[in-house]
Amino acid sequence: MDEHKGKRLFITGIPTAGKSYLAEMIIKKNNGVHINVDDVREEIVDDSRYEKWVNFYWDQDEKIYYTTTTYNEQWQNLVRQSEGIWPAILKKIESYQSETRAVIFEGVNILPHLAKKYLPFPGIVIIGKLFKEVLGRNKEEPRWGETEELQKLEAESFFYGERPRYKAEAEKYGYPVFKTADEAFEPTLEILG
* The residue count for the chain: 193
Is the predicted pLDDT of residue 2 greater than 70, yes or no?
no
Give residue 133's pLDDT.
Answer: 95
Where does 8-192 sit in CATH, by number?
A: 3.40.50.300
pLDDT in tens, 64-93: 999 999 999 999 999 999 999 999 999 999
The structural domains of the chain, with segments of one domain joined by +, span 8-192
Give residue 46's pLDDT.
Answer: 87
Give residue 15's pLDDT.
Answer: 95
pLDDT in tens, 15-71: 999 999 999 999 999 889 999 998 898 889 889 889 889 888 888 999 999 999 999
